[in-house]
Structure 1
Amino acid sequence: MCSHYQTLKDAELLLKKFGASKPAPIGKYDMWPRYPGVFVRRPPEHDAGDEAVPEREAAAGRWGLISASTRPDALAGAEKLSTFNARDDRVANSFTFRNAWRRAQHCIIPADAIFEPDWRTGKAVATRFTRADGAPLGIAGLWDRYRDADGAWHDSYTMLTINADQDPLFRDYHQPNKEKRMVVILPEGAYGDWLTASAEQSRDFLAPFPSDKLIATPMT
């Protein structure tokens, strides 16, 4: 699982690589759960037939998805849950994620890097993962909207994760004797298809990114 990543500082790069304009505000660079961050999606109004609606937009929301089904009086409890990652084997049936999954509310989380702990020395060593070619990461996610006690709606998002026990790179990270997980990093050619995929097609995209195209740098 990923509980720390760095987003993009360059709004032009967001436009160039992900086809979305700069949101306001763009949020923090070093991202931790519950921080406001940036994600790219098809606008919710996309299917309304308005030609003025763009194919993609950059939105700002809470990293840690809160379901649209969450009642305002249950919001305090939902905000305490660890919903910044969504497991591929539970996402369809989880109360938190199933609304976004079934509605195919796909998004892409742009990132300069993600961080995972390396426990091979007996203690956690934070390790920074980047693309070998220097391009930003596009992480597959889900988004949803929840309503607060005043009736206002807020966006939130999560990163999708898959098993990494056999992955050549990520199998060496996280605590020993525990399942290894990794976020779904999309190839650039799949960005548009992921955003427009149906719920039935979603699992076709949940695959590991080639390990030889990533660089792991210990932060020592």
Structure 2
Amino acid sequence: MCTYYEVPGREQLVLHFDDVPEEEWRDKMSPLYRGPFLRAKGEAGRELVVGQWGMIPPHSKTHIPTGKDGKRLSTVNARREGMAKSWTYGGPWRKGQRCIIPAQLYV
């Protein structure tokens, strides 16, 4: 997975999604920045929302991922074969929490 990408402009997102959030985001994304992503909504729906890039473990007291020992973690990439067992990714993975990131250019 690439750790930097360019987000399509608001006008491009409006062409593909019914409801584009009013929140602002950066054009060039990297870990811990806020940007648009598509997630499931209801039984068969979807919604475009703005959120922070990176998995924040449940015990973290800030929006910067930290381990059990309080040290900063990189939670940008994960391997499929370890997702279900991971203390960081395991819960969301088992619940089926997935998203799609709109990206138009890798930097």
After TM superposition, is the score higher than 0.5?
yes
CA distance in 1, matches of 2:5, 2:51: 15
Q: Share of identical aligned residues, percent? A: 33
Deviation (angstroms), 1:20:
4.5
More helix by share: 1
Total equivalences in the alignment: 103
More strand by share: 1
Deviation (angstroms), 1:81:
1.5
CA 1:77–1:29: 2 relative to 1, 3 Å? same
CA distance in 2, matches of 1:114, 1:38: 16
Letter in 2 for 1:86: A
Question: RMSD of the TM alignment (CA)?
Answer: 2.5
Aligned to 2:59: 70
Stretches of structure 2 lacking an aligned partner (at least 5 in a row): none
Does the CA contact (< 8 Å) of 1:20 and 1:40 recur in 2? no
Aligned to 1:157: none
Aligned: 1:55 with 2:9: no
Deviation (angstroms), 1:76:
6.2
Letter in 2 for 1:103: K
Q: Which runs of 4+ in 1 moved over 6 A?
A: none
TM-score normalised by the chain length of structure 1? 0.41
Deviation (angstroms), 1:71:
4.9
Deviation (angstroms), 1:37:
1.1
CA distance in 2, matches of 1:84, 1:111: 16
Which of 1 and 2 has greater Rg?
1
Aligned to 1:3: 3
Stretches of structure 1 lacking an aligned partner (at least 5 in a row): 48-53, 116-220
3-state secondary structure, aligned to 1:110: coil
Deviation (angstroms), 1:24:
2.4
Does the CA contact (< 8 Å) of 1:26 and 1:38 recur in 2? no
